[in-house]
Amino acid sequence: MMSKVEKLTERLQGIEIRKKSLGLKASVGGIGSTTAVSERRRETTSLEDKSLVYGREKDKEAILQLLLKEDESVSVSVIPIVGMGGIGKTTLARLVYNDERIKGCFDPKLWVCVSDDYDVVRVTKAILEAFTSDANKLETLNMLQKKLNEKLSGKRFLLVLDDAWNDNYADWDVLRRPFMHGAPGSKIILTTRLRNVAKITSTLCPSQLAYTLNELSKDECLSLFAHHALARPNFDAHPHLKEIGEKIVNKCKGLPLAAKTLGGLLRNESQQRVWENISDSKIWDLPEQQSNILPALRLSYHHLPSHLKQCFAYCAIFPKDYAFDKGELILLWMGVGLLPLSTEKKQMEDFGSEYFDDLLSRSFFQQSSAFESRFVMHDLLNDLTLYIAGDICFMLDKLVGDKQIEIPEGARHLSFLRQRFDGLQRFRPTYKRQHL
């Protein structure tokens, strides 16, 4: 009896640790209640970062062309920039916002961080505060929008709405009303992780509703990493660190946030042993007070509805760089009971297709560059699935010599990479696990 109590206590302690690591708070309420997230995205600023930015010149020129293009079909153009967390959307918007070529084209220029705590009144007030300190005296949305309308009326403005999450069209329709009275040629740049936000806000052509920001090339990522680690864009002064530096950058898979963060952790550190420790670490092993990679990616996960959280976590069964088929994944979701039962109007596959498309639009999946009909996850998002799934999903790696693989007791889903000479020995550990 005591052993069962001890096991239960140990399990509850594990749940408590994971609750804290995922930033969850206890919430009082029934079915309609929501789980609060303690972790909030920090405010962004329009002030230019004087440190070098690598690999974004083409992206910058493309956005500048859209900004300077005259479009008589709409009074105010909205240009969404879409990409996964940490890809550099805010950095790109900041580069454009501070470019000399647009300084005489727009007056006023405004920057507002929308963030995940979306509220029409708060965002409207934040925009108005760029003009006047009297915004705090205005309490109702009507008063705020009338005042903002006065300030923008007849002016050719540039507004950056950074980090937008709300994909409710009715909310956007209310927020944008004061903007419609700006002078022709006014522009709004909106950065978001969600393609659905781009759909409801964009004024670009239907074939390209948003500007999709992609990962940096390996060389660009390496230069960015070296800049933050060694205060120079190369390893000329530290040739002994180049090989291990390239291994670290391979972990980043072109994500600027990861290159910048890992470079910052190694700032002015020249001991190869320390670099090797970072190279061998998983993202959740890094000191969180110094690393913002996991919190940035985790924020996207927090914004998922519960049914999508389960479906995304299940993807921990896939190895890195695995190109999966949409239909294949939907069938797997069906097989483990993650999809609603069929109804008169919808089959189970239809629900699965909706779930998949939603995760794709939120940048959790991306089109494979090698196979047009398949999809992949960024390596760091793959790491995130492993972190979230914990012991529930387990990958059976190849045997190293005669070493037995210990499968966690709580493992429910098991996957393996087929080897040329698979033997029974490899699967022997599975017979002890009753929950697979």
The span from the CA of 251 to the CA of 407, in Å, is 25
Judgement on whether residues 208 and 222 belong to the same structural domain of the protein: no
Q: Report the share of the chain in percent with pLDDT over 70.
A: 85
Which range (68-72, 147-151, 380-384, 399-403) has the least confidence? 399-403
Whether the per-residue pLDDT at 27 is higher than 80: the answer is no
Q: What is the CATH number of the domain that holds 132?
A: 3.40.50.300
Q: What is the pLDDT of residues 248-281, one digit of tens each?
A: 999 888 999 889 888 888 888 888 888 988 888 8
**What do you get for the CA distance between the two ends of the chain, in Å?**
25
**What is the arithmetic mean of pLDDT over 85-105?**
92
Which residue, 215, 167, 211, is CA-closest to 189?
Answer: 211
DSSP-assigned beta bridge partners for residue 435: none
Q: Residue 243 is part of which domain span?
A: 218-296
The residue-averaged pLDDT of 366-386 equals 88
* Residue 43 in domain: no
- The CA–CA distances, whole Å, from 359 to 317, 388, 422 equal 17, 16, 34
- pLDDT of 364 > 50? The answer is yes
Domain count, the chain: 3
One domain for residues 205 and 65: yes
pLDDT digits (tens, 9 = 90+) for 183-197: 999 999 999 999 999
Statement to judge: residues 415 and 329 lie in one domain: yes
Q: 310-363: per-residue pLDDT in tens?
A: 999 999 999 888 899 999 999 999 999 999 998 888 999 999 999 999 999 998
Please check the confidence at residue 60 and state whether its pLDDT lies above 50.
Answer: yes
Question: Which of 296, 323, 353 is the last residue before a domain boundary?
Answer: 296
Q: 94 with 190, same domain?
A: yes
Mean pLDDT of 217-224: 94
pLDDT over threshold 60, residue 25:
no
Highest mean pLDDT among 63-77, 231-245, 393-407, 417-431: 231-245
In our burial notation (b when 16+ CB lie closer than 10 A, e otherwise), range 98-135 reads ebeebeeebeebbbbbbbbebebeebbbbbbebeeeeb
Mean of pLDDT values over 194-215: 90
Domain boundary among 281, 296, 311: 296
E strands within 125-180?
A: 158-164
CATH number at residue 319: 1.10.10.10
Please tell me which residue, 143 or 286, carries the higher pLDDT value: 143
> Which among 243, 265, 296 is the end of a domain?
296
Segment 11-27 mean pLDDT: 61
Instruction: Give the DSSP H/E element, type plus range, for residue 111.
Output: strand 109-113
Same-domain status, 387 and 250: no
